[in-house]
Amino acid sequence: MTARYGGFPGARPRRLRTTPAMRRMVAETRLHPAELILPAFVREGVSEPVPLASMPGVVQHTRETLRKAAAEAVEAGIGGIMLFGVPEEAKKDAVGTPGTDPDGILQVAIRDVRAEVGDDLVIMSDLCLDEHTDHGHCGVLDAEGRVDNDATLERYAEMARVQADAGVHTVGPSGMMDGQVGVVREALDGAGYQDVSILAYTAKYASAFYGPFREAVGSSLKGDRKTYQQDTPNAREALRELELDLAEGADMVMVKPALPYLDILRRIADAVDVPVAAYQISGEYAMVEAAAANGWIDRDRAITETLTSVRRAGAGMILTYWATEAAQRLNRGE
Ligand code: PBG
């Protein structure tokens, strides 16, 4: 057979897969600790961390263990931490008062983490009411029990101010209210926080994979979020959300969940010139952990493969509950 260099047998893609060194050299996508962001839960009024049954390895932190986790995250070289507060059940109400109380658990946690790590980690906070409301919705309700978009925006503006007062670097409005990014930007600027950035949950889909998160934040939600979060079949709609978020002043944009929405991630990454993040959510974490616990998949390889896929699809940053562990492994050269 004569060698035909435009095709087989001259051309053999397998040549570039022959050794680990060769594969490493030609890898098109690399993971780096700095692009990983750790979502972390802190629960008010607990003296020991509370393990989450549906997220083995993840806990609701006490204030003290959260500080330790933040220090460990810095040590591992990860980029940021996204904080979620879990207030005492009795403090939740219809308008989510703990979310705007300067002494609410999330604000306390932001101050704690800022005191612990300063600027060594980008400190981010969830800007949403669902952890703080007794009905579990991401906003306040109108007389008919529907989520009231514009009344909710006023609450978000207040949340932005108290989170910034507490020392957060970046807020993450995650409620999918129309106009939320603009209102948050205005509130921050009006309070002198021009340097506090916004990571917009731009394309956030109503997903079954949030299930374990609801346990993680002790959510009181009955029903679903389909009137505000996006509908799974829609992709163009994500581009419309993107356009609006950018016009309203989003500094960074996010797609969520990650793995079931890689096509959305790719379209958004191709369309923007701001940093793009993806959130590998609780259910994505739980699936891998559960299958691994059964011996059905190789846990560490599955983690690396999912993170690499999300990165390859266009995410410059990944929120993942494995952030610190994955970074530690990367640091060891694994
Ligand atoms: C809303 C919020 C949710 C998550 C992050 N921010 C829950 C929801 O929208 O229902 C989910 C994260 C995860 O599942 O890991 N505050």
Q: Which of 91, 222, 226, 256 is catalytic?
A: 256
pLDDT tens digits, 258-311: 999 999 999 999 999 999 999 999 999 999 999 999 999 999 999 999 999 999
Query: Residue 256 catalytic?
Result: yes
- What ligand 1 atom has the least distance to the C-alpha of 281? 15
Work out the mean pLDDT of the chain and round it to a whole number. 97
Mean pLDDT over residues 185-204, rounded? 98
Confidence at residue 6, expressed as pLDDT on a 0 to 100 scale: 78
Query: Which DSSP string corresponds to 52-96?
Result: -TTSTT-EEEPHHHHHHHHHHHHHHT-SEEEEEEE--GGG-BTT-
CA–CA distances in Å: residue 306 to residues 98, 311, 325: 35, 9, 14
DSSP run (H or E) holding 313:
none
In the predicted model, what is the mean pLDDT of residues 196-209? Answer: 98
Least confident of 215-229, 234-248, 269-283: 215-229
Task: Report the C-alpha gap between 75 and 237 in whole angstroms.
Answer: 39
Percent above pLDDT 90 for the chain: 94
Instruction: Give the domains, in start order, of the chain with CATH numbers.
Output: 31-331 (3.20.20.70)
Nearest atom in ligand 1 to 221's CA: 10
Q: Tell me which residues have their CB closer than 6 angstroms to ligand 1.
A: 126, 128, 130, 138, 174, 210, 213, 225, 281-282
